[in-house]
Amino acid sequence: MEALEQVKSRIEAAVPGVKIDIVQNPGPANQPSLLIDNEHAPAIAQFLRDDPALRFDFCSNVTGVDWLDRTVKKTVKVKKSIDGEEKEVTETTEEHFPGYLEAVYHLYSMTQKHGPVVIRMRTPNRADGARLPSLTPIWRSAELQEREIFDLYGIRFEGHPDLRRILMWDEFVDHPMRKDYREPDDYEYEPTPHDDVLERTKQHYPARPQLDGAEEITATDLH
């Protein structure tokens, strides 16, 4: 298979106006990926699938990722004039990076027997209703996996043929794989709360005066 830089160059030559960055992977896998712009994502996907030399005709896996807002501190050495003398001092600066959501696709070619190439798309932010173009029209195997990402992370895939929850029930609120998700104290399908759930639930009820022979709040009191 061609190097990722060559694949990137092929896409840029075939799809005018695209914006693609190579994202390095510092982990043990050392598998860099292509960050593609959302506007041209369907055209890029179609090229990767149909180009005779590439023929990435199989999408094996689609994964959601949640990146929270983060602040990165950097230590730099600068020269300053102190008491009329130029000295090198150390200063700490902070840079803020807003959070976003990602959809990551692993592509293989069954025809050419090579891969994977990993492509990713990012939302502008982590707001409810964040949107990305669906790649299901290019790779049908992405259909259920994009639904799972929609369900668990909240990304709405525009152009998906059947975008609805797949793991959680329709009335469920929020997205359980978000890093700031707060698990509810109890679920309506649990007839008797577990002990740890019951302890959390007590925090939401005012303390009751203890009478002679009175017992603490029980699971029955909460139903």
Q: What is the reported pLDDT for 138?
A: 98
Residue type, 194: H
Q: Is the pTM of this model over 0.85?
A: no
Q: At what angle do helices 4-14 and 41-50 cross, to 10 degrees?
A: 110
Q: What is the reported pLDDT for 69?
A: 92
Q: Give the separation between CA 137 and CA 168, rounded to whole angstroms.
A: 24
76-101 burial: b if 16+ Cβ within 10 Å, else e: eeeeeeeeeeeeeeeeeeeeeeebbb
Q: What is the reported pLDDT for 83?
A: 75
Residue type, 110: M
CB-CB contact of 185 with 201 (8 Å): yes
Q: What is the reported pLDDT for 42?
A: 97
CB-CB contact of 217 with 205 (8 Å): yes
Give me the domains of the chain, ranges plus CATH numbers: 4-67+101-207 (3.30.460.80)
CB-CB contact of 155 with 61 (8 Å): no
Q: What is the reported pLDDT for 207?
A: 66
The DSSP code sequence of the chain is: ---HHHHHHHHHHHSTT--EEEEP--STT---EEEE-STTHHHHHHHHHH-TTT---EEEEEEEEEE--EEEEEEEEEEEEETTEEEEEEEEEEEEE--EEEEEEEEEETTTTEEEEEEEEE-SSS-TT-EEE--TTT-GGGHHHHHHHHHHH--EEET-TT---SSS-TT--S-TTSTT----S--TT-SS--HHHHHHHHTTSPPPPPPTT-----GGGG-
Ordered per-residue pLDDT tens for the chain, 223 residues: 889 999 999 999 999 999 999 999 888 878 999 999 999 999 999 999 999 999 999 999 999 999 999 898 888 888 887 777 888 888 888 888 899 999 999 999 999 999 999 999 999 999 888 999 999 999 999 999 999 999 999 999 999 999 999 999 888 889 999 999 987 766 655 556 567 777 777 776 666 555 454 455 454 454 4
Q: Give the separation between CA 186 and CA 105, rounded to whole angstroms.
A: 34
CB-CB contact of 171 with 187 (8 Å): no
CB-CB contact of 157 with 150 (8 Å): yes
